[in-house]
Amino acid sequence: MAQYTFTMLLQTLILLPTITSSTLITTGGNITFPVPDLSLIGNLYSHWEYLGDDTFDLTRSVSLPTTTPLTIPMSGTRKSAIIEPSRSALVLIDMQNFFLHPEINPVAEAGRKAVEPMLKTIHAFRAKGMKILWVNWGLDGRDLLTIPPAYLDGFSGTAHSPLATFDSDMGTLNDSTPIGKFLMRDSWNARPYGPLYGEQVGGVKNGTDLYFHKNRMSGLWGTQTPLGLWLEENQMTTLFFGGVNTDQCV
Ligand SMILES: *[C@@H]1O[C@H](CO)[C@@H](O)[C@H](O)[C@H]1NC(C)=O
Ligand SMILES: *[C@@H]1O[C@H](CO)[C@@H](O)[C@H](O)[C@H]1NC(C)=O
């Protein structure tokens, strides 16, 4: 019985997509495809094709449809990549008043300098039909029930106080604008900073952009986050990251 199930599974996997010139190398597991083409790295559902000369095809076109793939230069050891725009997106992390506004975070000079280049990047992505995904802190009441004390204390800095962390009232700016509750959803401090706010609101309205609230350092701490679910459901395979602390807050 076990052997029968296994055979069926193999057949399903092989018949499902249209594999034409080649099949794929898997990196492990029980199912190994024949290996006529060593340029394919990965498995049927997620693979790169190495085209030589440090150029990589990231479109997964063996198993997924393509529209008008784009070739993009890269600055690292890999020279260029080919991407499928309908499965690529720009993820913008934490470019919020809380992290970038001069009255709230005076030291974030570099972050404020990133705003202009980011606006250009956003426009370039939209022009190629690629989605902009705003991924920002935005806690709601339910999140406060499950957020670990380590987060609450960590965000309170040296105060170690519930009056200086998530959900506490942050007072007003010099011009009396209410800052709102610390990184709570829909507060002024949780909005994108400066001209990014108008871009986000307009982009979401136009349908070119999507907005995802984070309730942990990462917006991808499980596939059940709003961002994780959207990426899976839409078969996104290629992501570009920009914003604040993209080494740790993605
Ligand atoms: C806000 O007011 C404080 C206290 O008067 C001052 O030190 C600070 O420079 C002001 N910030 C801005 C951005 O105007
Ligand atoms: C939304 O679409 C309108 C009409 O195409 C355009 O003029 C505007 O610039 C767009 N806004 C954003 C933020 O993309």
Mean pLDDT of 109-135: 97
pLDDT above 60: residue 22: no
Q: What secondary structure letter does DSSP report for 139?
A: B
Picking from 55-64, 96-105, 112-121, 184-193, which range would have the lowest pLDDT averaged per residue? 55-64
Task: Residue 172: count other Cβ atoms within 10 Å of its Cβ.
Answer: 13
4: confidence class by pLDDT, cuts 50, 70, 90: very low
- Using a 6 Å cutoff on CB, does residue 138 contact ligand 2? no
CB 98 within 8 A of CB 189: yes
Picking from 3-12, 35-44, 70-79, 214-223, which range would have the lowest pLDDT averaged per residue? 3-12
Environment class of residue 126 by beta-carbon count within 10 Å: exposed (0-12), middle (13-18) or buried (19+)? Answer: middle
- Using a 6 Å cutoff on CB, does residue 206 contact ligand 2? yes
Task: Report the atom number in ligand 2 closest to the C-alpha of 209.
Answer: 14
Task: Report the atom number in ligand 2 closest to the C-alpha of 198.
Answer: 13
Per the model's pLDDT, the better-predicted residue between 23 and 151 turns out to be 151
CA distances from 228 to 52, 213, 219, 235 (A): 32, 11, 7, 11
pLDDT above 50: residue 218: yes
| Ligand showing the shortest atom-to-Cα distance for residue 112 | 1
- Using a 6 Å cutoff on CB, does residue 203 contact ligand 2? yes
pLDDT above 70: residue 31: no
**Residue 248 structure tokens:** 């740790």
Distance 125 CA to ligand 2 centre (A): 14
**Torsion of the alpha carbons at 33, 37, 39 and 42, rounded to the nearest 10:** -10
| Ligand showing the shortest atom-to-Cα distance for residue 207 | 2
- Using a 6 Å cutoff on CB, does residue 34 contact ligand 2? no
Per the model's pLDDT, the better-predicted residue between 27 and 4 turns out to be 27
Task: Report the atom number in ligand 1 closest to the C-alpha of 174.
Answer: 1
Mean pLDDT of 124-145: 97
Of all residues in the chain, the percent with pLDDT exceeding 70 is: 85
The one-letter amino acid code at 43 reads N
The one-letter amino acid code at 137 reads W
**CA separation for the pair 214, 112 (Å, rounded):** 21
Mean pLDDT of 201-216: 97
Determine which helix (DSSP H) or strand (DSSP E) holds 51, and give its type and residue range.
strand 47-52
Most confidently predicted of 21-25, 32-36, 130-134 = 130-134
Residue 37 is predicted with a pLDDT of 67
SS3 content of the chain, % helix, strand, coil (to 5): 30, 20, 50
pLDDT above 70: residue 94: yes
Residue 3 is predicted with a pLDDT of 34
Candidate from 206, 208, 209, 211 with most ligand 2 atoms within 8 A of CB, to mutate: 206
Per the model's pLDDT, the better-predicted residue between 93 and 249 turns out to be 93
128: confidence class by pLDDT, cuts 50, 70, 90: very high
36: confidence class by pLDDT, cuts 50, 70, 90: low
Average pLDDT over the chain, rounded to an integer? 87
| CB contact set of 217 (below 8 Å; sequence gap of 6+) | 151, 248, 249
Mean pLDDT of 219-226: 87
Residue 28 is predicted with a pLDDT of 46
The residue nearest atom 8 of ligand 1, judged by CA position, is: 103
In this predicted model, what pLDDT tens digit does every residue of 137-177 receive, in sequence order? 999 999 999 999 999 999 999 999 999 999 999 999 999 99
Residues with CB under 6 A from ligand 1: 102-103, 174
**Residue 191 structure tokens:** 């909005």
**CA separation for the pair 161, 116 (Å, rounded):** 36
**CA separation for the pair 250, 246 (Å, rounded):** 6
CA distances from 3 to 15, 29, 102 (A): 19, 16, 65
Mean pLDDT of 73-91: 96
Q: What secondary structure letter does DSSP report for 44?
A: S
Strands (E) in 116-208, as ranges, are: 131-137
pLDDT above 50: residue 7: no
